[in-house]
Amino acid sequence: MKEPDNEHFLCDDLEQIALCRQGDKDAFEPLVRKYQKKMLNIAYRIIGDYDDACEAVQDALLSAYRNIGSFRGSALFSTWLYSITVNTARNRLKQVISKNRREETSLDTPILTDEGSMKIEPVSPDDSVLKRLEKEELRQAVQKCIDALELHSREIIVLRDIMGFSYEEIGEMLKIASGTVKSRIFRARDSLRNCLKNLVGEQA
Amino acid sequence: MTCMGMKEKLSSYIDGSLPTDEKASIEEHIVSCVECRQYLSGLENTVRALRELEEVNPPPWMTGKIMARLRDENKESIFRRLFYPLHIKIPLEAAAIFMVSITAVYLFRAGERDMRPVMPLPLLPSAPVTEKSDSHAARHESSPEPPAIAKKNAERRPVPDKNMFDESRKEKSLPVETKIAPSPLIEAETEKREPSAQEAVQNIGKTEAPVDKMRDFRNIPEAPGRISSFSSVPAAPALAGKMLQKEAERSLSLRVNDIDAAFAHLKKTVTQSGGTVVSIEDREGGKQVRTVIPRKQLESFINEIEKEGEVTGKNDILSAILPEDQSIPLSIFLFRSK
């Protein structure tokens, strides 16, 4: 888990942040490298489109650099960054929805980008082709159901069940109380469960 | 505990975020409740499916692109700082508009000055002119004019009282003319309007302004009376630059049988038209009457004096585009018809 690393991460980050505040653009690069993947995954699951997610992450990081002066040490830098990411992804998604092209891309893109990770995935040698097909089908169904969720639920399910953030971290990122986090998580899971049940039957 | 209240707790139960006693009571409940057990199983499968979604990797160019955009952004932010709060943009635009307006006005005025010389000028019936100009030249030499009259002549358009058919003067004047009206358009217009030898006459008048004479008489005190009203007539082309706003003097000739009767009628008609007689001069074989006629009355005025005799040169006046609400200086030459 990431907990033991936090202290070290924080010190490291603060050094870079201080340099960035002095106008050292190069000091931002390690931060970009460190956080871009997680940011991309948040954005990708919220938006449902890889290219849009890449754009959103770029925008989020540039926005973070621009506003690095407003970062308070009270929160983790990562939490602050992810919060910006969620906001950027949300705005991007609104644009995408208004362009009405969400449904098509969200279903197709995961397959294109997942090929490598499908092999990395611990698949036992005994796994039949059928089972792998089932898994792929399930994955598609899950993404489809995420995309069908309303925006609040989508954000919270991504942060909690895909990214694995704690209630407190989520509360901080979304600026909501942890009671609200809990109930939103429940509602999102409930909707998702119903959706999956309809799509792939009782196995979900 | 009801199943409805239980479901939300089951969500927290999966996360392991419940206090120990609540956790125990839930575990106890699901053993006995099939519905809740199934719900929990569905919830667990859902969460597992979500957790099993694999991560995506950022494209290899991402870091580079972000850093490049970051470096560009600094340049952009200087640009933004200058233009976006509009500190510079609005004054720049205002200055640009101002410059364009000034240029437009300047060009318009410059163009207007070029146009000025092609305005129709006194048209003289050929026979009397020759006769008159000869005699005039003679008079010039023999009897020096009193200052008041001399000034009047100076201010007047020089065409009628110059020895305009002097060949040497005409030649001198021609190169100057090209400077004044360089545009082919304007030249074409001039030709259209003055197709005869009178163009040459005009050119003398226009270009050979009695500038020296002007200078000589400028210091001479004005004769009392009519001079002041006279000055409203834009006479000498040398003053054209200053008098751009004034209309050029137009001229007509009127051949009549009885000059005195026609003159009386003319004066009456001028007054009836709301105009004024500016000056009256005796000419060989007739009179020159300078008047100012309101633009609106011009047509009816010409029609009226036409009753007295044959009018020459009215077409140029009637076809010219004249400002609606101004008075037009008009010089009328009264001649006795043969």
pLDDT of res. A52:
92
**Residue B113, both tokens:** 């000055």
Q: Which residue has the tokens 């020096």?
A: B144
Whether B230 has a pLDDT exceeding 60, the answer reads no
Q: CA A188 to CA A150: how far, in whole Å? A: 9
User: What residue of B is the nearest CA neighbor of A29?
Assistant: B67
Q: How much is the CA Rg of chain A, to the nearest whole Å?
A: 18
In three-state secondary structure terms, B238 is helix
**Residue B176, both tokens:** 């100057």
Cβ-defined contact of A162 to B47 (cutoff 8 Å): no
Q: Which of A63, A65, A193, A198 to mutate to test the interface with B (most CBs of B within 10 A)?
A: A193
Cβ-defined contact of A185 to B45 (cutoff 8 Å): no
pLDDT of res. A170:
93
Residues A24-51: pLDDT tens digits?
888 889 999 999 999 999 999 999 889 9
Q: Which residues of B touch A28 (CB under 8 A)?
A: 67, 70
> Does residue B147 contact residue B276 with C-beta atoms inside 8 Å?
no
User: What residue of A is the nearest CA neighbor of B18?
Assistant: A182
Q: Which of A33, A50, A193 sits opposite B63 (nearest CB)?
A: A33
Cβ-defined contact of A37 to B74 (cutoff 8 Å): no
Put the strands of the sheet holding B276-283 in their side by side order: B276-283, B286-294, B327-336, B250-256, B309-312
Q: Which residues of A touch B6 (CB under 8 A)?
A: none
Cβ-defined contact of A189 to B11 (cutoff 8 Å): yes
On whether any CB of chain A is under 8 Å from the CB of B58, the answer is yes
In Å, how far are A87, A176, A190, B287, B288 from A146, measured between CA atoms? 17, 21, 12, 105, 102
User: What residue of A is the nearest CA neighbor of B54?
Assistant: A117
Among B residues 60-89, those touching chain A with beta carbons less than 8 Å apart: 62-63, 65-67, 69-71, 73-74
Q: In terms of C-beta density within 10 A (0-12 exposed, 13-18 middle, 19 or more buried), how is residue A33 classed?
A: middle
Q: In terms of C-beta density within 10 A (0-12 exposed, 13-18 middle, 19 or more buried), how is residue B20 classed?
A: exposed
pTM: 0.48
Cβ-defined contact of B66 to A36 (cutoff 8 Å): yes
Centre a 10 Å sphere on the Cβ of residue B193 and count the other Cβ atoms it contains.
19
From A147's Cα to the closest Cα of chain B, the distance in A is: 13
Higher-pLDDT residue of B287 and B120 is B287
- pLDDT-derived band at A10 (thresholds 50, 70, 90) equals low
Whether A185 has a pLDDT exceeding 90, the answer reads yes
Q: CA A37 to CA A53: how far, in whole Å? A: 11
Residues B169-206: pLDDT tens digits?
444 444 444 444 444 444 444 444 444 444 444 444 44
- For residue A65, what are the β-bridge partners? none
Q: Which of B7, B49, B56 sits opposite A138 (nearest CB)?
A: B49
Cβ-defined contact of A29 to B74 (cutoff 8 Å): no
Cβ-defined contact of B42 to A143 (cutoff 8 Å): no
On whether any CB of chain B is under 8 Å from the CB of A1, the answer is no
Rounded to the nearest integer, the mean pLDDT of chain B is 69
Phi, psi of A27 (to 5 degrees): -65, -15
Among A residues 80-119, those touching chain B with beta carbons less than 8 Å apart: 113-114, 116-118
Q: CA B16 to CA B41: how far, in whole Å? A: 15
Alpha-helical segments (H) within chain A: 6-21, 28-47, 50-66, 77-99, 102-120, 129-148, 151-157, 167-174, 178-200
**Amino acid letter, residue B234:** P
Name the residue among B322, B334, B160 with its Cα closest to residue B257. Answer: B334
Q: Which of A61, A161, A196 sits opposite B66 (nearest CB)?
A: A61
Q: Which of A113, A161, A166, A167 to mutate to test the interface with B (most CBs of B within 10 A)?
A: A161
| Cα-Cα end-to-end distance for chain B | 135
Cβ-defined contact of B54 to A121 (cutoff 8 Å): yes
**Amino acid letter, residue B246:** K
pLDDT of res. B119:
54
CA B160 from centroid of its chain's CA atoms: 33
- If phi > 0 it is left, if psi is from -120 to 50 it is alpha, else beta; for residue B254 that is beta
Mean pLDDT along residues B118-143: 49
| Cα-Cα end-to-end distance for chain A | 27
Cβ-defined contact of A66 to B67 (cutoff 8 Å): no
pLDDT of res. B85:
61
Whether B100 has a pLDDT exceeding 90, the answer reads yes
Mean pLDDT along residues B240-258: 70
Whether A66 has a pLDDT exceeding 50, the answer reads yes
**Residue B312, both tokens:** 């020459």
From B110's Cα to the closest Cα of chain A, the distance in A is: 54
Tell me the DSSP string of B251-264. Answer: EEEEEES-HHHHHH
Whether A78 has a pLDDT exceeding 60, the answer reads yes
| Interface predicted TM-score (ipTM) | 0.77
Q: CA B271 to CA B301: how far, in whole Å? A: 10
Mean pLDDT along residues A136-149: 87
Mean pLDDT along residues B161-170: 46
Q: What is the DSSP letter of B287?
A: E
Give chain B's count of helices (H) and strands (E): 15, 5
